[in-house]
Amino acid sequence: MDQKIKNIQQKLLKELSLTKNITQLETLSVNYLGRKGAVNQLFQSLSSKEKAVHGKDLNQLKNNIESSIKESKTLLLSVKSKKKLDITIPGIKPPEGHLHLLTQAIEEVEDIFKSLGFVRRRYPEVETDWYYAEGLNIPKDHPARDDQETFYINQNTVLTAHTSNGQLREMERVKTPPIKMINIGKTYRRQASNTHSPMFHQFEGLMVDKGINITHLIGVSNYFAKAYFGPDREIRLRPHHFQFTEPSFEVDINCSVCKGKGKKNNQACTVCKAGWLELGGAGMVHPQVLKNGGLDPKQYSGFAFGWGIERIIMMKHQVTNNLRNLYLSDLRFLTQF
């Protein structure tokens, strides 16, 4: 028996000395320790009486083999590869996809307002005159229609030039406030210029409840400004006029380049107007609009704002030249983002 054990050990040592790599070592390990390996075969060949006598020795043999193999493995692993890899070789990249800057911005806006408890909605891009204008307190022959540069399908159907059509629709849908909506959509303006596209995107915020006041609009706008543009940014309101809000505001955001000073290196800041940039319009929902949406202005008040997605992209990335670039289909542009 002892001789048999000795033979196995000697054979192992010989074979180990010839082993050149891990694969060979693993085969070796199976040959000795596997289910049909040398140790097991020897064990199986014994009668149960012999097993009782030599079991201990065989166990010892198994342990010895295991530690020898482990030793060899450590040795093999410590041998450094002779051929050095050229680590400067460029990697092979998988094909990459790109979501459009507009999609990225829309998702960001949606997330920011979601964290304030607003819900994203979608309302028609092709809309009736009522939801688009008349219901928003803009009568048919009102001069305010001049500013809208609207595309018409027919007398009563327009392509929305703003996302505010969602206001009445959301009031009608919810019926009983609170309302916290963010409506993001495509908008169209009949404007021919090198820097404007006839199609663009807006996001419309609407909040209506009991006791909503102007400071809440400032709060939500500031939250957005800090979340989207950076914690050191803030907004201010200036007077403006919209038919569907009263009071109405222009929302400005402080300039990141000159830090709101309007001057950099003793020269007028090239990005902003006197330290501030226009973000877009806002206001307290006009009582007539609340009425048109089926809500009682004596009970409820609210604020609304409508800002441009392209505009905030350009402000954030300090691209001041051309909105139309965003509608290029050139991959050399689109794959930058």
Q: For the chain, first and last CA: distance in Å?
A: 74
Identify residues 231-250 at the interface with other proteins (CB under 8 A).
Answer: 234, 236-241, 246-250
Identity of the residue, 86 or 96, whose beta carbon is nearer to other proteins in the bound complex: 96
By the rule CB under 8 A, 222 interacts with other proteins: yes
Nearer to other proteins, 39 or 212 (CB): 212
Angle at 268 between CA 264 and CA 270, to 5 degrees: 85
Cβ 318 to other proteins shortest distance, Å: 21
Q: How many CA atoms lie within 13 A of 314 on its CB side?
A: 22
Q: Among residue numbers 294 through 333, which ones bind other proteins (CB under 8 A)? A: 301, 326-327, 329-332
Taking CB under 8 A as the criterion, the residue among 26, 50, 107, 232 binding other proteins is 107
Footprint of other proteins on residues 190-209 (CB under 8 A)?
190-192, 197-199, 207, 209
CA–CA gap between residue 330 and residue 337 (Å, rounded): 12
- Distances in Å between the Cα of 80 and the Cα atoms of 26, 36, 77, 166, 169 are 19, 33, 8, 68, 71
H or E segment and range at residue 7 = helix 2-18
Rounded CA-CA distance 40/38 in Å is: 6
| Nearest CB to other proteins, comparing residues 17 and 91 | 91
Using CB under 8 A as the binding rule, the residues of this chain from 142 to 171 that contact other proteins are 143-144, 146-147, 151-154, 156-157, 159
**Candidate segments 3-11, 14-22, 264-272, 279-287, binder of other proteins by CB under 8 A:** 279-287
275: tokens are 């330290």
- Name the residue nearer to other proteins (CB basis): 54 or 121: 121
Per CB under 8 A, does 127 bind other proteins? Answer: yes
CB 78 within 8 A of CB 314: no
